[in-house]
């Protein structure tokens, strides 16, 4: 570093030290010489981030702190200068004094200080953010893989729709087909929220559904049992909307019980209909009781059970010409439309 640069560095440090707010920021702050990239100032957060002390600061440059190629760093500095008025935001790989590499987001701007060309940069460590995003993406893939796919039997055809608003979803559905007794059990859930907590709670509900279908109690008794078991997992607040159904293909009877998902579509008879079914959300009241309703069905009838993110997108009343296939296509298109504002999930059942 030249004598002139040393004087500039000292001058800049004296200038910056007047602004105690710089050491109160949660982000690291760097002031760089715009021509050669030498470090003129680092606030306390920056010193901690890069593991240097103030006595070492004057010997540092951006090329020492950066793990990217020197040419890349030079190009980034040039871009900051070219975007002087707008500023420039980019990511880079930086390195600590101990040699550990980490990813940073840099918000930089070229300005004049004391008649000198300076680059002021806010540095944010995004390594943890990137790791979290990666884990969320993996969790989302696992969540999708756990869902049942379309199912075809001599008695029914089942299709499904699953479209999270973001990477993770509070929606979940599951089915279990008892081939020996010719009974199809199904469960659709909409947990409040879209993050990791909602994903975990929906997974617990799926596990409880699998246990509940083995219990020799009516469908509303199964739902009440699920509610009692899941209460501890909603102790910090929140709830889940759900609907539990059972198709008995021997008796040709649909039994269903609702807890917050209070309607579904029935395409049969003279015209399509919305079947109403009241019931309090899961996770609110211990020992809550739920109603059970019955509906007979025949070959050609179809049913669509869905979360409200999709249900509220469907214009009603449905057209008389609506079929199972056209309804499925409508739901698929709505689930990926720009207008969707929530997770969108559905189970469609066509009776053979």
Residue spans of beta strands (DSSP E) within 208-343: 240-248, 253-259, 263-267, 273-276, 293-296, 302-306
Give the model's confidence band at 86: pLDDT under 50 very low, under 70 low, under 90 confident, else very high. Answer: confident
Ramachandran class of 279: left when φ > 0, alpha when ψ lies in -120 to 50, beta otherwise: left
pLDDT tens-place string over residues 266-304: 998 788 999 999 999 999 999 999 999 999 999 999 999
Q: What is the mean pLDDT of residues 75-82?
A: 88
**Could you read off the pLDDT of 238-267 as tens digits, one per residue?**
899 999 999 999 999 999 999 999 999 999
Please say whether the beta carbons of 185 and 349 come within 8 A.
no
> Same fold for the domain at 3-125 and the one at 134-351?
no
Q: Which residue's entry shows tokens 């596990």?
A: 207
> What does the pLDDT read at residue 24?
74
Is the model's pLDDT at 10 over the cut of 70? no
Report the relative pairing of strands 263-267 and 302-306 from DSSP bridges. antiparallel
Instruction: Reply yes or no on domain 134-351 having CATH 3.30.60.50.
Output: no
Sequence ranges of the domains in the chain: 3-125, 134-351
Using the Cα atoms of residue 110, residue 113, residue 117 and residue 123 in order, give the sign of their dihedral.
negative
Q: Where are the alpha helices (DSSP H) in the chain?
A: 3-16, 44-50, 54-57, 62-65, 70-82, 127-146, 196-212, 219-230, 308-311, 324-335
Please determine, looking at this structure, whether the domain spanning 3-125 carries the CATH number 3.40.190.100. Answer: no
Q: How many helices (H) and strands (E) does the chain have?
A: 10, 16
pLDDT tens for 159-183 read 999 999 887 888 999 999 999 999 9
Say if residue 139's pLDDT is above 80. Answer: yes
Q: Does residue 307 contact residue 205 with C-beta atoms inside 8 Å? A: no
Helix (H, G, I), strand (E, B) or coil at 295: strand
């Amino acid at each position: 570093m030249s004598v002139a640069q040393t004087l500039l560095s000292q001058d800049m440090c004296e200038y910056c030290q007047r602004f105690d707010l710089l050491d109160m920021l949660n982000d690291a702050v760097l002031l760089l010489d715009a021509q050669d990239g030498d470090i003129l100032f680092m606030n306390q957060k920056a010193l901690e981030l890069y593991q240097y002390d103030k006595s070492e600061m004057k010997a540092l440059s951006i090329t020492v702190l950066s793990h990217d190629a020197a040419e890349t760093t030079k190009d980034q500095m040039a871009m900051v200068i070219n975007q002087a008025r707008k500023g420039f935001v980019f990511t880079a790989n930086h390195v600590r004094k101990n040699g550990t590499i980490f990813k940073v987001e840099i918000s930089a701007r070229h300005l004049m200080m004391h008649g000198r060309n300076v680059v002021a940069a806010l540095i944010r460590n995004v390594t943890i953010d990137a790791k979290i995003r990666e884990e969320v993406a993996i969790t989302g893939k696992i969540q999708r893989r756990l869902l049942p796919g379309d199912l075809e039997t001599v008695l029914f055809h089942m299709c499904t729709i699953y479209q999270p608003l973001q990477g993770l979803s509070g929606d979940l559905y599951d089915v279990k087909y008892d081939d020996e007794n010719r009974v199809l059990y199904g469960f659709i859930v909409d947990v409040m929220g879209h993050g990791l907590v909602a994903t975990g709670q929906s997974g617990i509900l799926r596990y409880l559904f699998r246990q509940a279908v083995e219990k020799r109690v009516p469908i509303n008794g199964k739902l009440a049992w699920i509610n009692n078991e899941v209460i501890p997992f909603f102790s910090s607040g929140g709830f889940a909307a759900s609907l539990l159904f059972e198709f008995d293909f021997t008796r040709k009877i649909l039994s269903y019980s609702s807890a917050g998902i209070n309607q579904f579509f029935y395409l049969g008879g003279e015209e399509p209909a919305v079947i109403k079914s009241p019931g309090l959300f899961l996770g609110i009241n211990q020992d809550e009781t739920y109603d059970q309703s019955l509906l007979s069905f025949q070959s050609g009838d179809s049913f669509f059970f869905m979360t409200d993110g999709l249900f509220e997108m469907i214009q009603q009343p449905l057209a008389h010409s609506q079929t199972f296939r056209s309804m499925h296509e409508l739901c698929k298109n709505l689930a990926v439309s720009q207008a969707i504002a929530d997770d969108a999930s559905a189970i469609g059942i066509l009776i053979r």
